[in-house]
Chains A and B, each alone.
Chain A
Amino acid sequence: MSELTLTVMRLGFLAVLWLFVIVAVQVIRSDLFGTRVTQRGSRRGGSDRTPQRQQAAAPQQRQQQPSGRGAGRQRRGAPTKLVVSEGTLTGTTVALQGQTISLGRAHDSTIVLDDDYASSRHARIYPDRDGQWIVEDLGSTNGTYLERTRLTTPTPIPLGAPIRIGKTVIELRK
């Protein structure tokens, strides 16, 4: 066998061996979190951001507005996403696909809250059998507020109603 072929095979084998190692590390990387975080394109991000800035400028107005709007829309359509509207994660969205969303400081939560006022397993949001989304406080220290009320039982979430956990406010949107 020619020298050249053997050299190519030798280097090729090392490359393949290292490729396996790299692919294995990639598998680990995708395995680290239970959720996938993607950056939205700048075009969509820009259009999303405008209403949020308005909300941040007038939080008082925003909090009152959805409660009236939410009650009317609830019957017409189910929410499709959960949006963080205040706090360090502002702008983060989670698609609602029938999965349970956990919130808290614990690293395996769907939304990991970096907030001293949040408990490690603070609350969860899940669909009941009719597809109605329910928020449940998991015995947190500082409580979970739906609009202005502290939650004591699992409660259905009206569309657009603010859920406050520590410094973070989330809401369901269509």
Chain B
Amino acid sequence: MSSSTTSTTTISTAGPPSRRNTELAMLAFAVLIPVFAYANVGLALSDEMPSGMLSYGLGLGLLAGVGHIVVRKFAPYADPLLLPLATLLNGLGLVLIWRLDQSERLARAAEAQGFVYGASAPNQLMYSAMGVAFFVGVLMLLKDHRILQRYTYISMAGALILLVMPVFFPAKFGARIWVTVGSFSIQPAEFAKIVIAVFFAGYLMVKRDALALASRRFMGLYLPRGRDLGPILVVWAMSILILVFETDLGTSLLFFGMFVVMLYVATERTSWIVFGLLMSAVGAVGVATFEPHVQQRVDAWLDPFAVFETGQGTEQIAQALMAFGSGGVMGTGLGQGNSDLIGFAANSDFILATVGEELGLAGTMAILLLYGLIVERGVRTALAARDPFGKLLAIGLSAAFGIQVFVVAGGVMGLIPLTGMTMPFLAYGGSSVLANWALIAILIKISDTARRPAPAPAPSPDAEMTQVVRP
């Protein structure tokens, strides 16, 4: 009956291309999941539905709705998944922070150290609102992402200022990553990662031919010329300086990693990855030998349980590892774990340990997949983008996002030494939430341009004058 050369497929155009209704449905789903989680925490902790559930759900729904309407208006062809994924992570973060707010153990520990223990969840909800306002602002003001290309070198200066600023402010919790004005403090590195992606994209777009083509082949690797090594050396030196003066391993790893990824994407030369890995290994080991703060972090990573014998250092990592372990595969259930034993920074740097204990391996995998999907949509946007600047910017922003998740998750799980960074959207912290909403907004703007259907063929003016040759 059927012959092998005959296919029986029909190709038809798939629906309306904008996919905004898909986004709305996903967004509704993404708001309902945190509401479910909120109810679950309330029932587990106090046997009753939590009182703030309605206002909290409405607040998150309102933020999501505002974001959706603005995307519909200003980026109608944007990727349908970025906004729901970010909303879900932000909502789950709010629930986890609220859950840790209820912990009497954390309250006692804070009071013992002389702090006033205040609830963090209302602040985080306010930061989320500011983040969505940022998101809306970027979508409305940034008409076309290619405008950013004009500010290549201004963003370099801006990023340098943002990165250097914390040096002049007192160290907080062992790392100089804060700028404190009065009672208000921000982490400029979170914003710097967006600004510096703009600079890298603009710079590499212009220089990539020189970096890709002028090279010699040696043992299967393309060795770049000595003078082309300049930029990577400069960025490397900058990362080392951040590491030495701000004692911040995360930020320096983030910037160097982002640059190497963008260099690789721009030039398609594997040798840059090899050089990058070698240089970061040399840099990290070199600094770790003489910088005491970094040394402490490495020691705590190599032997996290030594703290129980010597009584020195922090037991955060050990408690985080035990949280992951006691979570098992299915977790203890929301509100029923003891991840608050981590103590300080349980709701910011270490929030993934709460996920690991209360949702178990299954939940942690799901959360990591949600991050992975955001990165995937970013890479997909870069593939679809038609202009090289947009491609590089999208890949740089998604690489920064992915590296940040890896650095934080790896640190909390004991895979790499712990760094003072926050899990995007999930963790408590204003700068992080604001900067990541802006990052998502830029990705949405690029994907809108990339997915916009090509304009219909214009009727050519001489079509009527030319005689059409008919066979």
* B468–A45 touching, CB < 8 Å: no
* A100–B366 touching, CB < 8 Å: no
Residues in A whose Cβ lies below 8 Å from that of B380: 28
* B333–A40 touching, CB < 8 Å: no
Residue on A nearest B463 in the bound complex, by CB = A154
Task: Given the known inter-chain contacts A1-B43, A17-B366, A27-B80, please indicate yes or no for A149 contacting B471, CB distance below 8 A.
Answer: yes
Is B111 an interface residue when CB atoms closer than 8 A count as contact? no
Is B17 an interface residue when CB atoms closer than 8 A count as contact? yes
Contact of B10 among A7, A94, A128, A153 (CB under 8 A): A94
Contact of A35 among B11, B36, B333 (CB under 8 A): B11
In the complex the two chains form, what is the Cα distance from A33 to B12 in whole Å?
Answer: 11
In the complex the two chains form, what is the Cα distance from A37 to B380 in whole Å?
Answer: 21
* A155–B14 touching, CB < 8 Å: no
Number of chain B residues whose Cβ lies closer than 8 Å to a Cβ of chain A: 60
The stretch among B1-9, B238-246, B275-283, B345-353 that forms the contact with chain A is B1-9
Task: Given the known inter-chain contacts A13-B359, A17-B363, A148-B471, please indicate yes or no for A37 contacting B33, CB distance below 8 A.
Answer: no
Residue on A nearest B42 in the bound complex, by CB = A1
Is B440 an interface residue when CB atoms closer than 8 A count as contact? no
Residues in A whose Cβ lies below 8 Å from that of B377: 28
A27-42 CB contacts (< 8 Å) to partner B = 27-28, 30-31, 33-40
Task: Given the known inter-chain contacts A14-B366, A24-B26, A49-B2, please indicate yes or no for A35 contacting B12, CB distance below 8 A.
Answer: yes
Contact of A34 among B14, B330, B360 (CB under 8 A): B14
Residue on B nearest A35 in the bound complex, by CB = B11
Is B123 an interface residue when CB atoms closer than 8 A count as contact? no
B454-471 CB contacts (< 8 Å) to partner A = 456-457, 459-460, 463, 466, 468-471
* A13–B37 touching, CB < 8 Å: yes
Is B160 an interface residue when CB atoms closer than 8 A count as contact? no
* A91–B459 touching, CB < 8 Å: no
* A39–B9 touching, CB < 8 Å: yes
Task: Given the known inter-chain contacts A33-B14, A90-B5, A146-B471, please indicate yes or no for A153 contacting B333, CB distance below 8 A.
Answer: no
In the complex the two chains form, what is the Cα distance from A136 to B460 in whole Å?
Answer: 12
Rounded to whole Å, the gap between the CB of A113 and the closest CB of chain B is: 12
Task: Given the known inter-chain contacts A6-B336, A13-B36, please indicate yes or no for A152 contacting B469, CB distance below 8 A.
Answer: yes
In the complex the two chains form, what is the Cα distance from A100 to B463 in whole Å?
Answer: 18
Residues in B whose Cβ lies below 8 Å from that of A52: 6
Contact with B along A71-87 (1 / 0, CB 8 A): 00000000000000000
Residues in A whose Cβ lies below 8 Å from that of B22: 27
Rounded to whole Å, the gap between the CB of B387 and the closest CB of chain A is: 16
Residues in A whose Cβ lies below 8 Å from that of B1: 46, 49
Is A126 an interface residue when CB atoms closer than 8 A count as contact? yes
* A97–B13 touching, CB < 8 Å: yes
Residue on B nearest A45 in the bound complex, by CB = B8
Residues in A whose Cβ lies below 8 Å from that of B469: 149, 152-153, 155
Is B84 an interface residue when CB atoms closer than 8 A count as contact? yes
Task: Given the known inter-chain contacts A24-B84, A24-B373, A38-B9, please indicate yes or no for A16 contacting B33, CB distance below 8 A.
Answer: yes
* B29–A23 touching, CB < 8 Å: yes
In the complex the two chains form, what is the Cα distance from A151 to B43 in whole Å?
Answer: 72
Task: Given the known inter-chain contacts A28-B81, A149-B469, please indicate yes or no for A14 contacting B331, CB distance below 8 A.
Answer: yes
Is A5 an interface residue when CB atoms closer than 8 A count as contact? yes
Residue on A nearest B460 in the bound complex, by CB = A154
Contact of B373 among A12, A21, A154, A155 (CB under 8 A): A21
With most chain A CB atoms within 10 A of its CB, the pick from B7, B10, B330 is B10
* A34–B13 touching, CB < 8 Å: yes
Residues in A whose Cβ lies below 8 Å from that of B161: none
Contact with A along B76-89 (1 / 0, CB 8 A): 00001100110010
Is B229 an interface residue when CB atoms closer than 8 A count as contact? no
Residue on B nearest A81 in the bound complex, by CB = B10
Residues in B whose Cβ lies below 8 Å from that of A149: 469, 471
Residues in B whose Cβ lies below 8 Å from that of A39: 8-9
Is A140 an interface residue when CB atoms closer than 8 A count as contact? no
Residues in B whose Cβ lies below 8 Å from that of A10: 40, 330-334
Residue on A nearest B80 in the bound complex, by CB = A27
Is A58 an interface residue when CB atoms closer than 8 A count as contact? no
Residue on A nearest B45 in the bound complex, by CB = A1
Residues in A whose Cβ lies below 8 Å from that of B40: 9-10, 13
* B457–A124 touching, CB < 8 Å: yes
Is B370 an interface residue when CB atoms closer than 8 A count as contact? yes
Is B157 an interface residue when CB atoms closer than 8 A count as contact? no
Residues in B whose Cβ lies below 8 Å from that of A48: 8
A102-117 CB contacts (< 8 Å) to partner B = 110-111
Rounded to whole Å, the gap between the CB of A126 and the closest CB of chain B is: 6
Is B369 an interface residue when CB atoms closer than 8 A count as contact? yes
Instruction: Name 20 extra pairs, CB < 8 A, besides A5-B43, A10-B332, A20-B33.
Output: A10-B334, A17-B363, A17-B366, A21-B373, A24-B370, A25-B373, A27-B80, A27-B81, A28-B373, A36-B12, A40-B8, A45-B2, A90-B6, A94-B10, A95-B12, A95-B13, A111-B11, A147-B471, A149-B469, A154-B463
Give the top 4 A-B pairs by smallest Cβ distance, nearest first.
A10-B333, A45-B8, A149-B471, A36-B14
* Chain B interface residues (CB < 8 Å from chain A): 1-3, 5-15, 17, 19, 22, 26, 29-30, 33, 36-37, 40, 43-44, 47, 80-81, 84-85, 88, 330-334, 336, 359-360, 362-363, 366-367, 369-370, 373, 376-377, 380, 456-457, 459-460, 463, 466, 468-471
* Chain A interface residues (CB < 8 Å from chain B): 1, 5-7, 9-14, 16-18, 20-21, 23-25, 27-28, 30-31, 33-40, 45-46, 48-49, 52-53, 67, 88-95, 97, 99-100, 110-111, 124, 126, 128-129, 136, 146-149, 152-156
* 6 examples of A-B residue contacts, CB within 8 angstroms: A17-B359, A23-B29, A35-B11, A36-B11, A53-B6, A149-B471
